Amino acid sequence: MAGPYSCMLLGDLGADVIKIEPPGTGDQTRGAMGFKMKGPDSMGFLNMNRNKRSVAVNLKSEAGRELFYELVKNADILVENYRPGVMKKLKCDYETVAKYNPRLVYASISGFGQSGPWAGRPGFDLMAQAMSGVMSVTGHPGGPPVKAGVPVADIGCGLFATYAVLAAYIGAKATGEGQYIDASLFEAALAFSVWDISEYWGRGTQPIPLGTANRMSAPYQAVKSKDGYFVMGATNQKLWLLLCETLGRNELVEDPRFKTNPDRLANREVLIEELEKTFVTRTSDEWVEALLGVGIPAGTMYTYPEAFESEHGRHREMRIEIDHPHEGKVSNIGFAVKLTGTPQQVRLHPPLLGQHTDEVLKEIGLDTSAVEALAARGAFAP
């Protein structure tokens, strides 16, 4: 997921992204998710591969590699998402292809990086979450292991790879020299651990799961209301005093267990018990409105459908529709940041497997006879 996601972001910004796929099967996520769309590609694939062109090439064949080198000569950036060693075995590693294009920015994305004792392991988001420590702080105290509900290591690695690629591209434009980028899911997940590892390094105490609570301040979590739960945060002394006033619980201000933020953190469980005695008297929507009305951060707990279809989600255009030859109108997640000067655009629907092979080969100067010769040597065969 990390490599395709990173390249989609680059495509959204205007890059001409050529997706190299194995003939016959293509990207394995084309067949993922366990339910069928109208066409052969999964909804997950359709949400990670807009603004790309697909070229189906068998990199295990000598002819396929020759074609790959021709593509490399015309490229600014190469992103690969194989386990370490695979690209070298295919003779498509950085040392090999940089001879054809010294200005190439080459990014390798893997589970654990290109070096170290874990480098050769297969790496997926679940393993990265577990082995980075993320799962050790996810869930509720004393509960079973829980992973983050969204693939934070995959998406995080895709984002880190993207910023590294863009930085290296700027450098290559200035110097004419490319470079190699080594990104991993493991390190991406570790990079998110700012507060958690700071607690360990600063206090010597191992971070534990806190449910929806926060290590830095209390109250700052989901709380029970009359009809369910909502989230709120009185993250400083001013907001704490305002919360007590709004709840009509001014006796809590003088309670020695809750006088300061460190006191409230030390007594978080009993603090929430006290607050929920009041919160359960009104609905979540009533409390969210009341707290926001006096400037205390609060929010409703939405499902994904509710979030995307909310008035704000629709205003921010976080659900967009793309025309697709098999699916008709297909939903996609909208652009997560908005650029005013060079706004992202959907230029291409998620490609069909090998859809642009002939088009791209013509662009790099291969005529019909050359393509036929490559085909005869197995360049496009599964």
C-beta separation of 223 from 275 below 8 A? yes
| Catalytic residue status for 154 | yes
Extended strands (E) in the chain: 17-21, 52-56, 77-80, 105-110, 179-184, 220-224, 229-233, 298-300, 319-324, 328-333
Of residues 249, 242, 255, 241, the one with CA closest to residue 276: 249
Q: Evaluate whether 195 touches 127 at the Cβ level (below 8 Å).
A: no
Q: Which of 12, 41, 154, 182 is catalytic?
A: 154
Beta-ladder partners of 107? 79, 181
Structure tokens at 91: 């003779």
Rg of the chain (C-alpha set)? 26
Interatomic CA distance for residues 60 and 43, integer angstroms:
29
Query: Which run of H or E residues covers position 360?
Result: helix 357-363
Phi, psi of 369 (to 5 degrees): -65, -35
Tokens 């979450």 belong to residue: 129
CA separation for the pair 262, 203 (Å, rounded): 13
DSSP code of 124?
-
| Residue partners of 45: CB distance under 8 A and separation at least 6 | 27, 29, 30, 32, 350
List the catalytic residues.
154
